[in-house]
Chains A and B, each alone.
Chain A
Amino acid sequence: MNTINRRILIIDDNRAIHDDFRKILCPARLSNSALNAMEDALFGNAEPDIEMDAYEISSAYQGVDAVKLISDAASAGQPFAMAFVDVRMPPGMDGVETIRSIWEHAPSTQVVICSAYSDYSWEEIIAKLGQSDRLLILRKPFDTVEVQQLASNLTAKWSRQQGESYTA
């Protein structure tokens, strides 16, 4: 049985967005196990903690850095399962160019392209990247649950597709 590769790369020129992703994917847990144990003794049937997937989040603020991280990770045998990529990242490569380059180095990387407004139409993205089952589009401002589900599903998808060839 393979474990799931939960390494995710966030690619956005805006640092605040990286914080947003971390808040969503790695929420600060205030849970206090001592408190929960006492509640169990006092009131019985304490609410069980919801098991959250634990992601390994890395950050890149420019396309070039992202491509380097991706290819380094792949050659180190620690590949990223997925990346969230912003469309607009001045001054360097834009998101679409970055994705194309990422796929040259690590074709199996699942990608969610994020945009605050439409720099590219869907047709233009498809024209540049080709029709692909590795690509999803997320509109900013994004829904936190959507981000959680994307992360959960796409990391699982990546790991399933790697099949026997990958063991975390």
Chain B
Amino acid sequence: MPTPASSGLSSPSGFAYSRERFQQYVEDALAFARTLGATDAAAEVSEGVGLSVSVRKGEVENVERNRDKSMGITVYVGQRRGNASTSDFSRAALEQTVRAAHDIARFTAEDPAAGLPETEDMALGAASQPDLDLFHPWAIDAEAAMQLALRCESAALAVDRRITNSEGAGVSAQQSHFYAGNSRGFGRKEAQRQLEELHRKLLETTRQAGMAEVATGVLHNVGNVLNSVNVSATVLAESVRNTKASSISRVVELLEINKADLPGLFAQGGKGQMLPDYLATLSQQIAAEQKMRLSELSQLTKNIAHIKDIVAMQQNYAKITGIMELYPARSLLDEAVQLATADNKRDGVALEVACPANCPDVYVDRHKVMQILINLLTNARQAMYEQSPKGRIISVTITHNADKVRISVRDNGSGISPENLTLIFNHGFTTKKTGHGFGLHSSANSAKEMGGQLFAESEGMGHGSTFNLELPIRNPASTTAVAQTSTP
């Protein structure tokens, strides 16, 4: 909360700006500083109005009204600090000033002493802001001030007849108010609102990010497989180009030349004597070439099939979004497994799936379920990095009751401490070094949106964890039950 240095701003005054207005300016400046990348910022906005009158020897010499305003912003980038101020409160000027302060902060030397006080050292909340009784407005107009000044001077002159001259008398009334805030103890409410807005935006982008992540994964996989295909093709071409099979024509040529005297060719000391051995060695060589090519071709075929699978999966996955339909839980799981477990083999992760034969279909947005399952399978794999590769097992169990199907993804990895069991679904919560912390959050949300739920179970750190995704069997909005079809 703000820490206004003067209270009672609501009293009648000649101020042009309200407290709310000032608060807004400060919030805007701090928010803008954050978007520029400031680590901390402090802003102070103030306004002053006043009147001063001076008289001398019974004559009014000077009547002066003043009105000033200023906004100062201090921006911290780590231990660097920059400061700028403006008297123009327009949005453009405000941003320019924050930017100027930020620029200065970026280019000044680090100062270990620079920085804001710790949050706990700050006065937060209305309760900790005592009225310091500093504001005593004096609503006096120029005429009254002149009269007062004249009276004052004449009173001085009247003290003694020997006083014949004066340096004059003056009356001055000044009042000001300011509003100060910084990024640590300031505007909790505003921060909260921004967080919520950010959260909404993130939810939208999470969906896209999920898609992009799958698309990126697909590209990467296809790219790598394509590389092997390309190498295999080149190796094969090379092998065909350099084949020893062509030597047979040279043998034919030799026989052709010696057609008239074949016995001579094969006589003692003739070249023909070498031919049987040569042909035997040649046929071995050709057989070896053949074997190599066959093995290369089988790799090639396997890799092409792999690309076909990846592409087909991506097409299926990309086709349907946002439509609630009945799907066999098992086939959703199988597709998610295909997309998410490419790295399982590398990480030595075994996957076990148990699904009853008579499992009913689930009424879901296939896109959302895929997203959730991919997320759960990836998390499960990553949870076992600490685990020795031998014991890395993900087991997926599908169970059901009268109105829902539960897909449980269990890993025997690092586990979840009891206090984190629900926290993990919080937005921005992550224990991964490079995590964003919105995977589980958005998964839980989309499960809910479909009329299902996502929750976690774990017996604590080191005991693995189970994520349960429950999905509705029939459309919860419709009054009549959708006919159930069983998984083939």
Contact = CB atoms under 8 A, between A and B. Distances in A.
17 contacts: A15-B346, A16-B225, A16-B228, A19-B228, A27-B238, A32-B281, A38-B274, A41-B271, A42-B251, A42-B274, A42-B278, A91-B382, A91-B434, A116-B226, A140-B227, A141-B223, A143-B230
A141 B229 contact: yes
Contacts, number: 87
Given A16-B224, A27-B235, A142-B227, A42 B288 contact: no
A39 B246 CA distance: 12
Interface in A6-42: 13-17, 19-20, 23-24, 27-28, 30, 32, 34-35, 38-39, 41-42
B285 interface: yes
Interface of A: 13-17, 19-20, 23-24, 27-28, 30, 32, 34-35, 38-39, 41-43, 61, 88, 90-91, 116-117, 140-144
Smallest CB-CB A-B distances: 5 pairs: A116-B223, A141-B227, A141-B230, A20-B231, A144-B234
Contact of B346 (A13, A27, A30, A116): A13
A24 B285 contact: no
Contacts of B385: 91
Interface in B208-265: 216, 219-220, 222-232, 234-235, 238-239, 244, 247, 250-251, 254
B224 A116 contact: yes
A16 B216 CA distance: 19
B223 A117 contact: yes
B278 A38 contact: yes
A16 B342 CA distance: 13
Given A35-B244, A116-B219, A141-B226, A24 B231 contact: yes
A32 B343 CA distance: 41
Given A41-B274, A117-B219, A20 B228 contact: yes
Nearest to A21: B231
Nearest to A117: B219
Given A13-B346, A42-B254, A90-B343, A35 B224 contact: no
Contacts of A15: 346
B387 to A, nearest CB: 14
A24 B232 CA distance: 10
Contacts of A90: 343
A140 B231 CA distance: 11
A13 to B, nearest CB: 7
B281 A35 contact: yes
B139 interface: no
A61 B348 CA distance: 14
B250 A43 contact: yes
Contacts of A142: 227, 230
Nearest to B233: A144
B231 A144 contact: yes
Given A32-B285, A141-B231, 12 more contacts: A13-B346, A16-B224, A16-B227, A16-B228, A28-B292, A30-B239, A34-B281, A39-B247, A42-B251, A88-B220, A91-B385, A144-B234
A52 to B, nearest CB: 12
Contacts of A117: 216, 219-220, 223
Given A16-B228, A32-B285, A23 B235 contact: yes
A85 to B, nearest CB: 14
A49 B235 CA distance: 17
A41 B250 CA distance: 13
A111 B278 CA distance: 46
Contacts of B222: 116
Contacts of A43: 250, 254
Contacts of A91: 382, 385, 434
Given A20-B231, A35-B244, A91-B382, A140 B285 contact: no
A20 to B, nearest CB: 4
A116 B289 contact: no
Contacts of A16: 224-225, 227-228
A14 B223 CA distance: 11
A32 B284 CA distance: 10
Interface string B48-64: 00000000000000000
Interface in B267-296: 271, 274-275, 277-278, 281-282, 285, 288-289, 292
A153 B284 CA distance: 36
A25 to B, nearest CB: 11
A32 B288 CA distance: 11
Contacts of A141: 223, 226-227, 229-231
A106 to B, nearest CB: 26
Nearest to A28: B292
Contacts of B247: 39
B271 A20 contact: no
A14 B434 CA distance: 21
A32 B226 CA distance: 32
A103 to B, nearest CB: 22
B309 to A, nearest CB: 15
Contacts of B216: 117
A114 to B, nearest CB: 9
A141 B247 CA distance: 34
B226 A35 contact: no
